Amino acid sequence: MSENNKEGKIPMPTPNFKVDANPGSHVKKMIAVVSGKGGVGKSSVTGMCAMWSVRKGYRTGILDADVTGPSIPKMFGVGPEDVSGTDQVLYPAQTQTGIKIMSMNLLMTDENQPVVWRAPVITGAIKQFWTDVEWGDVDYMFVDMPPGTGDVPLTVFQSLPIDGIIVVTTPQDLVSMIVKKAVNMAKIMNVPILGIVENMSYVRCPHCGEEIHIFGESQLEKIAEEEGLKVIGRLPIDPALTAACDSGLAEYYENEQLEGLDTVLPALE
Ligand SMILES: Nc1ncnc2c1ncn2[C@@H]1O[C@H](COP(=O)(O)OP(=O)(O)OP(=O)(O)O)[C@@H](O)[C@H]1O
Ligand SMILES: [Mg+2]
């Protein structure tokens, strides 16, 4: 009987769907950034994790697994012209600080065209980002996961060798328990949750610096304790972050830190 059955949870068959990395890729740890639903700041947090990693001197990559809503290249100001390759292999784009990136948007001539593909084709593309891209040496690879807990994120979990998960949530999702779906998906997939980030947690008053909790008192500590999760950080709603991401200058955003990364990521070793 599997662990899930013992705990009275939904039984989950665990066949091995993992695909092999490109022979030219040596990735030490792969961390998936997930959320229970879309639009909570998953891509922004993925970018901030990568920025933390590269500032600490780690070789860093971002695999943008959000094929239908890729936003990582725009945040870092890279485009199709930054990707090179041969008949056999693709090389990731590199940002100014050296973060390696592969994303659907880097392979499209017109980034405004929607990717109108069915789930198996989407997951096929994500697998190719792993098998056909030569990533070289990477200490931490962050995977911007497709939003939600459906077919595509499930297949990504089953296909890529994910070592740990970072859950991104907003104050409202903590209250409505959407975050628990993401947490339960991680448990079913048997991947350790490194911790939780509460995005859009508060607004900082530009005059006095006070934290204004526009969604009420944060439930983060309570839910984190209930679920046995570490708190990686709380990020305010900050117009400077939106502006930096919209103009491709995310790498130069330094206002807030996800200080919990200092402990949870090195602990993966
Ligand atoms: N803390 C924040 N302060 C200000 N703006 C933010 C913050 N977090 C995210 N945003 C902005 O909100 C928008 C959505 O964020 P983001 O793209 O990171 O969300 P997402 O969860 O990846 O969305 P999707 O599900 O569509 O992939 C972006 O324009 C981003 O710049
Ligand atoms: Mg996104």
User: What's the 234 CA to ligand 2 centre distance in angstroms?
Assistant: 18
Q: Is the CB of 242 under 6 A from ligand 1?
A: yes
Instruction: Pick the most confident of 33-42, 119-128, 134-143, 162-171.
Output: 134-143
C-alpha 24/C-alpha 43 separation (Å) is 26
Q: Give Cα 69 distance to the centre of its chain.
A: 13
The per-residue pLDDT for 6 is 53
Compute CA distances 239 → 204, 235, 246, 253, whole Å: 11, 12, 10, 11
Residues β-bridged to residue 197: 168, 233
The per-residue pLDDT for 235 is 93
- Read off the pLDDT band of 9 (50, 70, 90): low
Instruction: Pick the most confident of 9-18, 66-75, 150-159.
Output: 66-75
The pLDDT tens digits for 206-230 are 899 899 998 888 889 988 998 899 9
The per-residue pLDDT for 2 is 47
C-alpha 149/C-alpha 2 separation (Å) is 21
Q: Is the CB of 199 under 6 A from ligand 1?
A: yes
Residue 17: name the closest of 131, 170, 108 by CA.
131
Whose CA is closest to atom 28 on ligand 1?
Answer: 242
Whose CA is closest to atom 3 on ligand 1?
Answer: 237
- Read off the pLDDT band of 146 (50, 70, 90): confident
C-alpha 44/C-alpha 75 separation (Å) is 8
Q: Which CATH number fits domain 24-268: 3.40.50.300, 3.50.50.60, 3.40.710.10, 3.30.2130.30?
A: 3.40.50.300
User: What's the 48 CA to ligand 2 centre distance in angstroms?
Assistant: 13
